[in-house]
């Protein structure tokens, strides 16, 4: 193993790229351990995509890049975020409008009974759906086949087909079956979207919480500052939570993302009576309307601010939201992953750095683990891997980078 990347016992100068949850947690942990941390974000605010701000006109706390609900089974993560913010009780209950009717989501006994005009008990509903399911599909390859196998044509066409088409910009016949792993139905009246033990909303918003995480004497935050790879040599180590392809100046082309457009409107009163209303019909161009005051039910607001949400392919100047990760992208992603392993003194983290969809609790967990790994590597004189959570499996590595296979495997092993 080369001597590069080996650590000494002095306090180090560390750059953290991105002031989202990943960057903030890593910066805090390393600052508390005595290191000097510079955090860079190209945006004018901290908190990344979790950013919340008070709407000037209505006073409503708005989830600027789309709604965020904190939910987790991870007790340590829950305790961690509660150190920096009081979490208010919040249950995510989502409705959907289909063909002029409003239904409850996820599809549950109420939805099934309403949709088919029945009054089934759980066992009756289960038998009814089993009858509707397409038993002739034994080896589903596409999202559509998987859905038909699970729920049958009526529910698929009403609730899944149009919405999926709008969200991903392609037909469910082009998406892999793996997206729909489990039966998306509940045979009871439970309409809490998440099953996690802990769920809530930060009382003063995510940006306030993340500002507090970053509030440490050893942390300097530089907003509206894009970090370029050339600056790496100014620091002992870099944690990079920006886009993996962006770090390499899109050398192998751009990784595919979906982006969102939000059409803001205000309303005097209660616009839709809930925080999230999906629109499943393909004929409605937006996927959902979010009414932000319902994300803070403990606040009493008369006026309302809502977002109509449109999904489309991400262009060069758009905010990357959801990694697409289709099979075709794997080789391109593998080339970037292999390229990352050639770098020294940089670890790629977070949803953009590892090109994965990550919930906030997973983001915090991975950031805590990354910081701890760094501190123990430093104490033991060991190298720090480019990825603790690599974006691809070793078998997906491009054959164009055979030399890198060993180091990739090492990166993967490091994540175990
Ligand atoms: C629409 C939507 C809804 C979501 N809802 C939920 C939810 O309800 N619950 C949940 O748990 N999770 C949710 N998530 C996931 C959540 O947004 C992520 O877990 C979280 O944002 C990941 O944080 P991060 O720090 O890794 O990335 P980000 O928040 O994206 O932060 C990365 C930061 O890096 C900065 N940056 C990038 N490149 C550079 C550069 N070169 N120089 C300087 N700065 C740079 C960016 O400006 C950005 O601020 C949702 C995600 C989306 C897209």
Give the nearest ligand 1 atom to 68 CA: 8
Whether residue 241 has its Cβ less than 6 Å from ligand 1: yes
Tens of pLDDT along 244-262? Answer: 999 999 999 999 999 999 9
Whether residue 193 has its Cβ less than 6 Å from ligand 1: no
SS (H, E, C) the chain: CCCCCCCCCCCCEEEEECCCHHHHHHHHHHHHCCCEEEEECCCCCCCHHHCEEECCCCCCEEECCCCCCEEECCHHHHHHHHHHCCEEECCCCEEEEECCEEEECCCCHHHHHHHHCCCCCHHHHHHHHHHHCCCCCCCCCEHHHHHHHHHHHHHHHHHHHHHHHHHHCCCCCCCEHHHCCCCCCCCCCCCCCCCCCEEEEECCCHHHHHHHHHCCCCEEEECCCCCCHHHHHHCCEEEECCCHHHHCCCCCCCCCEEEEEEEEEEEECCCCCCCEEEECCCCCCCCEEEEHHHHCCCCCCCEEEEEEEEEEECCCCCCCCEECCCHHHHHHHHHHHHHHCCCCCEEECHHHHCCCCCCHHHHHHHHHHHHHHHHHHHHHCCCCCCECCCCCCHHHCCCCCHHHHHHHHHHHHHCC
Cα(23) to centroid of ligand 1, in Å? Answer: 10
Cα(48) to centroid of ligand 1, in Å? Answer: 5
Give the nearest ligand 1 atom to 228 CA: 41
pLDDT given for residue 402 in this prediction: 33
pLDDT given for residue 396 in this prediction: 64
- Among candidate residues 357, 372, 400, 406, the one labeled active-site is 357
What number of other Cβ atoms are within 10 A of residue 340's Cβ? 26
Q: How far apart are CA 213 and CA 211, in angstroms?
A: 5
What number of other Cβ atoms are within 10 A of residue 207's Cβ? 21
Cα(40) to centroid of ligand 1, in Å? Answer: 14
Is 288 known to be catalytic?
yes
Q: Measuring from atom 39 of ligand 1, which residue has the nearest CA?
A: 242
* Cα of 14 vs its chain's centroid, Å: 25
Cα(49) to centroid of ligand 1, in Å? Answer: 4
Is 336 known to be catalytic?
no
Is 309 known to be catalytic?
yes
- Among candidate residues 186, 335, 339, 365, the one labeled active-site is 186
Q: How far apart are CA 247 and CA 112, in angstroms?
A: 48
Whether residue 68 has its Cβ less than 6 Å from ligand 1: yes
Tens of pLDDT along 327-352? Answer: 667 889 999 999 999 999 999 999 99
Pocket test of ligand 1: the residue of 16, 17, 18 to mutate, having most ligand atoms within 8 Å of its CB, is 18
Backbone angles phi, psi at 200, to 5 degrees: 180, 180
Give the nearest ligand 1 atom to 21 CA: 25
**Of 48, 58, 40, 44, which is closest to residue 20 (Cα–Cα)?**
48
Q: How far apart are CA 290 and CA 272, in angstroms?
A: 9
Whether residue 391 has its Cβ less than 6 Å from ligand 1: no
* Cα of 299 vs its chain's centroid, Å: 26
pLDDT given for residue 330 in this prediction: 81
Residue 359, token pair as written in the block: 């919930």
Is 325 known to be catalytic?
no
Indicate the pTM of the whole model: 0.92
Pocket test of ligand 1: the residue of 26, 69, 351, 391 to mutate, having most ligand atoms within 8 Å of its CB, is 351
pLDDT given for residue 327 in this prediction: 61
Cα(170) to centroid of ligand 1, in Å? Answer: 24
pLDDT given for residue 392 in this prediction: 86
* Cα of 135 vs its chain's centroid, Å: 34
Cα(351) to centroid of ligand 1, in Å? Answer: 6
The CATH code that applies to domain 13-52+74-86+204-255+324-414 is: 3.40.50.720
Whether residue 288 has its Cβ less than 6 Å from ligand 1: no
Residue segments in the chain with a per-residue pLDDT below the cut of 50: 1-6, 398-416
Is 182 known to be catalytic?
yes
Q: Where are the domains of the chain?
A: 13-52+74-86+204-255+324-414, 106-179
Contacts of 353 (CB under 8 A, 6+ apart): 18, 22, 240, 241, 242, 243, 244, 247
Whether residue 360 has its Cβ less than 6 Å from ligand 1: yes
Angle between helices 206-214 and 21-32 (to 10 degrees): 30
pLDDT given for residue 328 in this prediction: 66
Whether residue 350 has its Cβ less than 6 Å from ligand 1: yes
Angle between helices 122-132 and 143-155 (to 10 degrees): 120
Tens of pLDDT along 67-122? Answer: 999 999 999 999 999 999 999 999 999 999 999 999 999 999 999 999 999 999 99
- Among candidate residues 258, 301, 308, 356, the one labeled active-site is 258
pLDDT given for residue 9 in this prediction: 58
Per the CB < 8 A criterion, the answer to whether 186 and 109 are in contact is: yes
Bridge partners (DSSP) listed for residue 199: 71
């Amino acid at each position: 193993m080369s001597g590069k990347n080996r650590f000494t016992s002095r306090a180090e100068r560390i750059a953290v790229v991105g002031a989202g949850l990943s960057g903030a947690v890593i910066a805090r942990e390393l600052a508390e351990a005595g290191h000097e941390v510079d955090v860079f974000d190209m945006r004018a605010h901290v908190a990344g995509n979790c950013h919340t701000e008070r709407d000037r006109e209505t006073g409503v706390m708005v989830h600027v890049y789309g709604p965020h609900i904190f939910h987790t089974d991870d007790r340590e993560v829950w305790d961690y975020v509660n150190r920096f913010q009081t979490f208010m009780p919040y249950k995510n209950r989502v409705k959907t409008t289909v063909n002029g009717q409003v239904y409850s989501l996820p599809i549950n006994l109420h939805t099934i009974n309403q949709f088919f005009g029945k009054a089934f008990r759980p066992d009756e509903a289960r038998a009814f759906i089993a009858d509707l399911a397409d038993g002739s599909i034994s080896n589903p390859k596409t999202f559509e086949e998987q859905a038909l196998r699970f729920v049958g044509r009526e529910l698929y066409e009403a609730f899944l087909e149009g919405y999926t088409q709008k969200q991903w910009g392609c037909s469910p016949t082009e998406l892999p079956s793996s997206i729909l792993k489990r039966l998306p139905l509940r045979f009871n009246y439970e309409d809490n979207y998440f099953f996690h033990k802990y769920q809530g909303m930060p009382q003063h918003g995510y940006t306030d919480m993340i500002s507090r995480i970053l509030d440490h004497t050893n942390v300097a935050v530089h907003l509206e500052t894009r970090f370029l790879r050339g600056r790496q040599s100014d620091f002992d180590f870099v944690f990079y939570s920006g886009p993996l392809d962006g770090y390499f100046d899109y050398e192998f082309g751009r990784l595919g993302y979906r982006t969102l457009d939000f059409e803001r409107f205000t309303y005097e009163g209660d616009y839709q009576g809930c925080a999230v209303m999906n629109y499943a019909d393909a004929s409605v161009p937006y996927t959902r309307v979010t009414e932000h005051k319902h994300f803070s039910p403990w606040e009493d607001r008369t006026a309302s601010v809502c977002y109509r949400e449109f999904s489309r392919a991400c262009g060069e100047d758009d905010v990357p939201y959801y990694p697409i990760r289709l099979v075709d992208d794997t080789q391109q992603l593998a080339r970037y992953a292999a390229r990352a392993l050639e770098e020294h003194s940089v670890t790629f983290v977070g949803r953009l750095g590892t090109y994965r969809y990550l919930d906030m609790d997973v983001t915090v967990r991975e950031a805590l683990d990354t910081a701890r790994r760094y501190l123990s590597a430093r104490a033991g004189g060991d190298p720090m891997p480019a990825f603790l959570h690599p974006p691809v499996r070793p078998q997906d590595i491009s054959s164009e980078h055979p030399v890198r296979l060993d180091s990739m495997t090492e990166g993967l092993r490091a994540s175990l």
